Amino acid sequence: MHKKHDNVTKIFQSVFSSICESLERCVMLNKWFLIFCLLQQAEGKWYLIGFATNSRWYINNRDKIKMGIATLTSTAEGHMRVSYASLNKDGSCSRKKYRANKTDIPGKFVFVSRRNEKHTIMVEIKYDNFALIYDMKKKKKGAITKIVRLYSKVLTSSATFLKEKFRQLAYRVGTLTENIFFLPKNGTF
């Protein structure tokens, strides 16, 4: 009788373990499907209208930084492609492109280059209105740069609540008030 009970217990544990593994895979697939759907909703053109940072370079060059356009697209695997364009003073266009890889954390992506590792977190996003994005770059030499970006679907957003959300996020990551700024239009945008 005791052996029979042990066999039943082993079978039960095996079946239970198999069900748990299936459920975990199902939950993971559903989680990634949800992230993929959310990322697809974030696709399109976004205007960079607010910028907050602890980076010396950005702080020293803040008068040169103007509004730019980021275009987000998603890959079939759930990664994020970012294309950024900005107009230079001489009228030429500055462009950057990169692919940020998804992570196990919904809304968090990682981009690794020769010079740094960049973690991007979609903190809050209203797909037809605004996006608050937090970037943390870790340079190969160990320095950490924090950047909070405010994107808008429209050229100008004078919504006080939105600017306040942006400021509060910047303060939470340690940005000083004088390093939080709203970007002027750049050329025709």
Task: Identify the helix (H) or strand (E) that includes residue 112.
Answer: strand 108-112
Sequence ranges of the domains in the chain? 39-182
Q: What is the pLDDT of residue 156?
A: 67
Q: What is the pLDDT of residue 142?
A: 80
Q: What is the pLDDT of residue 37?
A: 52
pLDDT band at 15 (very low <50, low <70, confident <90, very high): very low
Q: What is the pLDDT of residue 98?
A: 86
Q: What is the pLDDT of residues 27-82, one digit of tens each?
A: 343 444 444 455 667 788 989 899 999 998 889 988 888 888 889 888 888 888 88
Q: What is the pLDDT of residue 106?
A: 79
**Superfamily designation of domain 39-182:** Calycin beta-barrel core domain (2.40.128.20)
Mean predicted lDDT score pLDDT of the chain? 77
Which residue has better confidence, 181 or 8? 181
CA pair distance 156, 29, nearest whole angstrom: 38
Q: What is the pLDDT of residues 143-155, one digit of tens each?
A: 889 999 999 988 7
- Examine the pLDDT at 125 and tell me if it is beyond 80: yes
CA pair distance 58, 46, nearest whole angstrom: 20
Residue with tokens 């977190």: 121
Residues 146, 175 contacting (CB under 8 angstroms) = yes
Residues 106, 122 contacting (CB under 8 angstroms) = no
Q: What is the pLDDT of residue 174?
A: 92
